[in-house]
A and B are shown apart, each in its own frame.
Chain A
């Protein structure tokens, strides 16, 4: 059974650009969460979606947005990129009965 898959694995963007990150949850998992992990820190919560509805939002600016599709996959969009947005972006899927399973992440570098 495939785990949580994220794409791309790495990307480099220029300040001011926009980026879209993608996540496919474990089959049968209806909830997807996004976390940002800056080097040397623990993951910080960005968004949670369940059955295509936003269930929670962390303390991030409106430049960050997300959505969940009917097949439960999800996209995280970041507009007007700043150098400080450079981080590992993690997607986690969960079901009602098990905890959170994380993908390998997308390493975003803003130059």
Chain B
């Protein structure tokens, strides 16, 4: 069974204090690993898709990396507007399979 575990569940950072969020996964052949940002009461907002181990993608203060067992979302010099829940999801490489999500990491950045 495909599974995603995110840690920590919650993270509180001071503005400018860099850190990383972890996403560990088990999947029967990885088609893609997805990172989303979700604000309270809103739908997930797409950030990145990673397809193979060693791949990295960046967007503003965010950088996502992928290994064969886990992915990291690095946040450099975060700002209060980066506060949100960050969701990780995997899609298996077998037919038209759905996304399997982790529970998310709730990030709070304090000014």
Binding site for B on A (CB under 8 A): 4, 6, 31, 33, 35, 40-45, 48, 50, 55-56, 58, 88, 90, 92, 99-105, 107
Asked if residues B96 and A42 are in contact (CB atoms below 8 Å), the reply is no
Contact partner, B98, options A40, A48, A101, A103, Cβ 8 Å: A48
Interface size class of B (residues with CB under 8 A): 20 to 34
Q: How far is the CA of A104 from the CA of B38 in the complex (A)?
A: 10
Quick check: B34 and A105 within 8 Å, CB to CB?
no
Q: Are B46 and A103 in contact (CB under 8 A)?
A: no
Chain A, Cβ-Cβ closest to B41? A107
Q: What CA separation (Å) do A32 and B63 show in the bound complex?
A: 29
Which B33-52 residues sit within 8 Å CB-CB of chain A?
A: 34, 36, 41-46, 49
Which residues in B have their C-beta under 8 angstroms from that of A35?
A: 99, 101
